[in-house]
Copies of this chain bind each other. A is one copy, B any other.
Amino acid sequence: MTRYQHLANLLAERIEQGLYRQGEKLPSVRALSQEHGVSISTVQQAYQTLENLQLITPQPRSGYFIAPRKAQPPVPAMSRPAQRPVDITHWDQVLTLLDARSDKSITAFGGGAPDVSQPSLKPLWREMSRVVQHNTAEVLSYDEISGRRELREQIARLMLDSETLATADDIIITNGCHAALSIALLAVCEPGDIVAVESPSYYGTMQLLRGFGIKAIEIPTDPQTGISIEALEMALEQWPIKGVILVPNCNNPLGFIMPDARKRQVLSLAQRYDIAIFEDDIYGELANDYPRPRTIKSWDIDGRVLLCSSFTKTVAPGLRVGWMVPGRYYDRVLHMKYAASATNVPATQMAVAAFVREGHYHRHVRRMRQIYQSNMETYTCWIRQYFPCGICVTRPQGGYMLWVELPEIVDMVCVAKQLCELKIQVAPGSLFSAAGKYRNCLRINCALPPNEKHREVMEKLGEAIRVAME
């Protein structure tokens, strides 16, 4: 991030927090330059940025003033999906989304990639070079099925932050969190089985269900507290459900962190109805607040929670290093891992183990948490400014995704198609519903650095939505 962006974000935050009142005069360019030890032009650029965001207004020969405040858009209400088991559709749209990854000319607001351009990733680099140069035999040979022990030991230590107790022997390394969920589902379910999911729910996981012929039942989910325990219980009463897939921490796409009490409620419900919980913690380390939230797994006494996670969002997707703590399903999961993919690449496992061991991981994650939080604030400002009225936006407690609910009239599937021609890619809400609901919603990836280019794209996006409403 450049200095002026940093300063602009800082000021935007203060304005958001109400530290300045509407109409209040801001410090002069010179005063701010001295206060922050930056150049006059840096302050000028920062003020220009805030002006673009309509947070401040210039008055000739008087300086900058706090602009009249646009109301904070409300958070979407509890979702109301059709509560019956359905087959998942929409693979074609997901494929289009994924194909865009390799086209560098596309602005991929629809994808899930983290920001891998930060200097705090440099040590990972060094570790990878070192691994390749000094461990020829290990790098070229077959890995253990459960993955490199040195990495499993580091993961066991990391998981203490979420009060999740597991030893290296309880952990199985996988080809990312996606493969962990895939193996978990294959180990527990059969084609024709029913699994409960949050609604909306991450499209990647739902495509797993489609692939394996498993039906999904969408459960109403609150954008601030997570899946409705009451609705889940009703569904469990009514259908032979095998398990529930949950992203309780920094939910994708809604951004909530389930309160601890609700995590325990859902676990006791699972115990009562003897179902498995597939807990996806991939964004859990990116919670805004420290210490990071607990996992449902951390209360799991009878091993029914299959915890899945990875370094994809916290470090880099290209590592393909994920893991699973499968509890009572360990033996079956290990066999299914062998069946599904046998072993993983040793080199990236060794590099990430060193990255964690040497303390680089914690430094990097600390940094990324702040960056993503600040990014989401900036994107929220832009949405407020460029999008039409009558919308709802989530207030994520972590991760880097925003979920926007537009008026019912807007069909984001159509808008997304038009945006393709402008080389802008967004994820329409319907991808996040087994039954294709939420066509008036979209998810925005705020890991894309909030620079001038991305501001312009957001402006175009808002414009396209305005047009769709006419």
Contact = CB atoms under 8 A, between A and B. Distances in A.
B116 A137 contact: yes
Interface in A122-153: 125, 128-129, 132-133, 136-145, 149
Dominant SS at the A interface?
helix
A101 B317 CA distance: 27
Given A99-B144, A133-B129, A320 B340 contact: no
A29 interface: no
Contacts of A335: 91, 95, 207, 210-211
Contacts of A341: 175-176, 178-179, 182, 340-341
A101 B144 contact: yes
A348 B139 CA distance: 10
Contacts of A319: 140, 345
B190 A317 contact: no
B179 A140 contact: no
Q: How large is the interface on A (under 10, 10 to 19, 20 to 34, 35 or more residues)?
A: 35 or more
B142 A113 contact: yes
Given A141-B101, A347-B347, A340 B338 contact: no
Interface of A: 91, 94-95, 98-99, 101-102, 111, 113, 116-117, 121, 125, 128-129, 132-133, 136-145, 149, 175-176, 178-179, 182, 186, 190-191, 204, 207-208, 210-213, 316-320, 334-336, 338-348
21 contacts: A94-B338, A98-B145, A99-B144, A101-B141, A101-B142, A101-B143, A102-B144, A113-B142, A116-B136, A116-B141, A125-B133, A125-B136, A129-B129, A175-B342, A178-B341, A179-B342, A210-B335, A212-B339, A320-B343, A345-B345, A345-B347
